[in-house]
Structure 1
Amino acid sequence: MRLDRLDPVSDRAQCCSVLAAGRRCSMLAKHHRKGGSVGVKPDEEIARQFEALIDDPKKTENHAQKFLEEHTEFLIPSWFQNHPMAMNSVISKFPIGPRTADFAYLMSDSATWILVLVEIESPHKKIFSGSSKHVKPTSAFEEALSQTHVWKEFFEEHPAEVRESVRPILVPSGRERNPLKLRRVLIIGRSADHDGNESRRKRMSTIEEDHKVKILTYDSLLGHYRRGQGEKRCVLSPRGTGFAIKRMDVFPTRTFAFVRPENLHVPPRFIAKLEAAGYQMKEWLANKPLMFGDKWATKPEGWDDGGMIDRVYGVAIDAVQKGRLKRAAK
């Protein structure tokens, strides 16, 4: 593909897709040169805290929600696992119709968005009952599963409303019109409920396939973390016509270049933290996108214009800016 033949407006989506792929390759290459792993290095003390929480019969799903917000690296991305979470962020308490998902996040490839909704149930709820020959889901499990069905029904009946609720973060610009699909994750119980029991494992797989839902136990989250596969995420919360940053243990990615201040509230303490890291937040608050390196509104001195990523980035910048001017003129 000849980059110099891309039109900034008509080829805007393609520009942004190439940009995204190029930046992912660049980050991965840099990471491999450093000899690091993709995930967060596990801290055994934190792992033991989580283990104690899920072993304690007095702890509820509310305690689990709080812990997972503070330690997002325990969350396991499902679907499009080779693609990053949008903005490297998860949404806490995402409303969908009359119900609320405990967590939500967006994932995508170049053609499709997937909205993943996560239901958190107690680690002490059993998934199956009965003997090894007569495997039967418990009423607690079926009730939890039915909660996710309510999300699915609302999504199918009100797709435009759900899409509008996440529209501000369908970034980069040019991909906001890509199809949006729904996927569901249920976190419940312990692995001992089906490990070592072939009938229960098969029944679990059948339920996942029939209901198109991913079922994870708390032991799955713990193992994911201890293997060093987890990544820290920024935590957002719904606010007005958009979102607010609720917790920022890591910086969000591909955010300030594309998301407007009217759609993303950044509390003063996080503004200060971002500015200390070199982000030009005053410019962003003045509605100037931070198009260069996700940090700068104008090209910084020494910026390398010779690389492929920079050339595609320039095309994407033109596309976004022209798109904004076109919308403003309407």
Structure 2
Amino acid sequence: MTATAADADTSDFRAPFVGFLPGYLAESQRTAPGRPNEDIYNAMVAERWTALLNSTASSDEALVHTFLERHPSLLPGCLTVDGDSGHSPFPMAVISKPKLPGLSDREPDFMWIACHSSEVFPVLIEIETPHKKWFYGDRAEIHSDLTHAQGQLAEWRAWFNRGYNREAFIDQYELGPFMGGRKLSPRYVLVYGRSSNYAGFPRRQQKRAELERQDERLMSFDRLSTAKRSVLYSCVRKTQDGYKVISVPPCLTILNSGDRYAAATGWDLALDQCPDMADLRREYLKEQLSLLIECPDAYVETHASGMRTLRPAWL
């Protein structure tokens, strides 16, 4: 491929912005200020994601990272990697480039804080590129790039296995009330290469099946697809001042319970920076988020008997 062709290939995914979904704005405007059709969004994301993976542009890890920030529904683990949970992750978002206190080496690319009734699962995700190889040439010998990437997961595991670090983690990510006596159970995910590097090769598939440790999930980029209830989740960064929203998906849908959103700031700016979202929808979400953060019980009904109930709804 010539340099000119490669540049054109890359520009397709950078312009007009990373994560752009051609045609989605019209669909958003059609239903605004109501919720856009989730199935249409998922189909458009899947098509655009596949096109990115199949392009030379996907060799740029920063580009892939930004795409996933804008469409966090593609990232595994929001409902745990041990099976779908009925609980939402904290804080209704994936965390981009989370720091582990005292660990100066490379941080994870992303982290979900997922949970179920008895455990909280920090799901630490390492993103490589779809161009990395699992095996060398025609052999079933594990590629050194894969070994190096797994070593990163091992470093995070070692960090969590030092008991005092778990308390530091809970403090860093403001999880005290969220823990509620539950056990902290980290999980480690590596997203690496394409399945074509081992699919159809029995020896490679057998060896690949043995690579995963009990608390690890190794997957190719081909495995990433939109998750259930994923339209509810945004992307945040954890700073010294708390959680800051850095991007929202164009299909963002919110719940009518304000305590889920007060943990993060920056909603208005993130909404303004989501060009695939219709203006009417954007303004509606700003109004609703402001209401729910100021008055978390805005949609709670008080009955004559004094009983208070909340009928869950997606806004």
Normalising to structure 2: TM-score of the pair? 0.68
Deviations 1:235-266 (A, max 9, x none): 11111152111123325658732675xx5323
Query: Identical aligned pairs, as a percentage?
Result: 19
Does residue 100 of structure 2 align to residue 93 of structure 1? no
Conserved? CA contact 2:95–2:110, under 8 Å: yes
Match of 1:183 in 2: 187
- Cα 1:176–1:48 shift into 2, 3 Å: same
Paired residue type of 1:257: D
Residues in 1 aligned to 2:131 and 2:266: alpha-carbon distance in whole angstroms? 36
Q: Provide the C-alpha distance between the structure 1 equivalents of 2:287 and 2:75, rounded to a whole number of angstroms.
A: 28
The residue number in structure 2 matching 1:74 is: 74
Report the Cα distance in structure 2 between the residues aligned to 1:242 and 1:69, rounded to whole angstroms: 18
CA distance in 1, matches of 2:304, 2:118: 28
**Which of 216, 220, 236 does residue 213 from structure 1 map onto?**
216
Opposite residue 61 of structure 1, the aligned amino acid is: E
Aligned match of 2:174: 167
Note the 1:88-237 alignment, pairs <5 A.
Answer: 88-96=92-100, 97-98=103-104, 99-129=106-136, 131=138, 135-157=140-162, 158-168=165-175, 173=177, 175-208=179-212, 210=213, 212-221=215-224, 224-225=225-226, 231-232=230-231, 233-237=233-237
8 Å CA contact 2:122–2:185 kept in 1: the answer is yes
**Bigger mean CA offset, 173-182 vs 194-203:** 173-182
The answer to whether residue 63 in structure 2 is matched with residue 63 in structure 1 is yes
- Name 1:24's counterpart in structure 2: none
Tell me if the contact between 1:235 and 1:248 (Cα under 8 Å) persists in the aligned partners.
Answer: yes
Contact 1:83-1:107 at 8 Å conserved across structures: no
Distance 1:205 1:255, change over 3 A: farther
Q: Which has the higher helix share?
A: 1
How far apart, CA to CA, are the structure 2 residues paired with 1:229 and 1:312?
Answer: 21
Query: Partners in 2 of 1:76 and 1:142 — Cα distance?
Result: 21
Cα pair 1:234 1:252 within 8 Å, conserved: no
The aligned amino acid for 1:76 is P
Shift in CA distance, 275/122, structure 1 to aligned 2, threshold 3 Å: closer
Query: Does structure 1 conserve the Cα–Cα contact (< 8 Å) formed by 2:92 and 2:260?
Result: no
State the distance in 2 between where 1:273 and 1:122 align. Answer: 37
Q: Which amino acid aligns with 1:198?
A: P
Task: Give the direction of change, closer, same or farther, for the CA distance of 1:197–1:303 in structure 2 (3 Å limit).
Answer: farther
What amino acid is aligned across from residue 218 of structure 2 in structure 1?
I
More off after superposition, 70-79 vs 91-100: 70-79
> Which range moves more in the overlay, 78-87 or 231-240?
78-87
1:257 is aligned, of 252, 256, 259, to: 259
What secondary structure is seen at the aligned counterpart in 2 of 1:167? Answer: coil
CA distance in 2, matches of 1:156, 1:91: 21
Q: Match of 1:243?
A: 243
Distance of 1:152 and 1:109 partners within structure 2 = 21
Any unmatched runs of 5+ in structure 1?
1-37, 314-330
What residue is the counterpart of 1:52 in the other structure? 51
> Which 5+ residue runs of structure 2 have no aligned equivalent?
1-36, 272-282
Note the aligned Cα RMSD (angstroms). 3.4
Partner of 2:24: none
Task: Give the letter aligned to residue 247 of structure 2.
Answer: R
Cα displacement string for residues 63-85 of structure 1 (whole angstroms, at most 9, x for unaligned residues): 11111111222223322423344
Tell me what 2:34 maps to: none
TM-score (structure 1 length as normaliser):
0.65
2:244–2:266: 8 Å Cα contact kept in structure 1? yes
Q: Tell me how many residue pairs correspond in the alignment.
A: 252
> Against the structure 1 CA distance between its residues 103 and 109, is the aligned structure 2 distance closer, same or farther, given a 3 Å change threshold?
same
Q: 1:267 and 1:162, CA in 2 relative to 1: closer, same or farther beyond 3 A?
A: same
